[in-house]
Structure 1
Amino acid sequence: MTRNHSSVFYVDSLQTPIRDMFAVANKESLYLLDFVDRLGLKHRMEMICADVQVVSGGNPVTAYIRKEMKDYFQGHLRKFQAPLYMHGTEFQKMVWSELMKVPYGDTRSYLEQARAISKPTSFRAVANANAANNICIIIPCHRIINSNGELGGYGGGVVRKQWLLDHEKAASEPHTCILPVK
């Protein structure tokens, strides 16, 4: 893989309410954010970190990710601003870019995502692209469900997918504040 970026990558861990995560970034962009127990994580990290120096610990990009994730899990952040590097095919990048347009607290079906990228018969390929997503939560593949309303798959596990959807729905609902009568 050819990069126009720094050849030093930092691997940092983040604690979240639904399991620890790894963030992998160079000085410009986040390359990977995923749960430590995700199947295939080691292989994906090896692919991303091939031919680069890997340093354990954080840098300004992972510190920014840490803050955004904290705000997200507290229900305060609805749109991430972190600089991302999407490592994948052109089709995957198109799918992931479209994923980032799905509003916080909302869901779309794989078919709706395929239609949104003008490839209505490619819903299975969209599902495969979602499965290859290296930047969990920020590229919100958890917001994509089956056309029948069932959750479908999720690389981080269906239980986490449901948790993330419930979290976003709860944080999106207007809160009623009852003031005491004077």
Structure 2
Amino acid sequence: MQHMVDYLSPVGMIEITGTEDAICSIMFSEREEIEHRVQENTPSVVQDCYHQLIEYFNGARKVFTFPIWNAGTPFQKNVWSALTSISFGETATYKEIAVAIGNEKSIRAVGNANGKNKLNIVVPCHRIIGSNGKLTGYGGGLWRKEWLLQHENVLTNKENNKN
């Protein structure tokens, strides 16, 4: 059975969907009202995701530790796995991901798989940019992508300046 919780983030509503075992979806919604709140029967994995997203947006979390389940083809899963290797505050290109999965000519297919990712932020498709360094499409909207990258860059730069 799937459970849903809404989180009103600085970049809009995020719908978290999960089971007792894993998070299946973290997607942006254009709704403005919270419809699904954490309840007594909300599975702990969904509650963990909710709290870890709050920590991420508050600048206190860079790595997520709850289990995820991303349904897709073997190729898509390879792309999504490669996305998780892009460090917080860093970016990569579609070509770099294609090379990372051992299929340098699959740049367009990588872009397509990136667009089918249902675990926004956690599987960081927002960290993919064009080979020219420009922002490219993002299912949640380019303004959200820009905000997320800026959020991560600010936190990374603060840490680097402390050292």
TM-score (norm 2): 0.89
Secondary structure at the counterpart of residue 62 of structure 2: coil
The structure whose Rg is larger is 1
Alpha-carbon shift at residue 28 of structure 1 (Å) = 0.2
Q: Distance in 2 between matches of 1:165 and 1:115?
A: 23
Q: How many residues align?
A: 153
Mapping 1:6-155, distance limit 5 Å = 8-37=1-30, 58-155=42-139
Q: Tell me the residue number matched to 2:34.
A: none
Secondary structure at the counterpart of residue 77 of structure 2: helix
Alpha-carbon shift at residue 115 of structure 1 (Å) = 0.5
Contact 2:5-2:50 at 8 Å conserved across structures: no
Structure 1: state its 5+ residue gaps. 1-7, 39-55, 178-182
Instruction: Quote the sequence identity (%).
Output: 37
Q: Which runs of 4+ in 1 moved over 3 A?
A: none
Cα displacement string for residues 19-56 of structure 1 (whole angstroms, at most 9, x for unaligned residues): 01111100000000111139xxxxxxxxxxxxxxxxx9
Alpha-carbon shift at residue 174 of structure 1 (Å) = 2.8
RMSD, aligned α-carbons:
1.6
Q: Distance in 2 between matches of 1:156 and 1:74?
A: 20
Contact 2:3-2:17 at 8 Å conserved across structures: yes
Q: Distance in 2 between matches of 1:86 and 1:66?
A: 17
Q: Distance in 2 between matches of 1:37 and 1:130?
A: 20
Alignment-mate amino acid for residue 171 of structure 1: L
Secondary structure at the counterpart of residue 173 of structure 1: helix
Alpha-carbon shift at residue 13 of structure 1 (Å) = 0.8
Structure 2: state its 5+ residue gaps. 32-37
Alignment-mate amino acid for residue 12 of structure 1: V
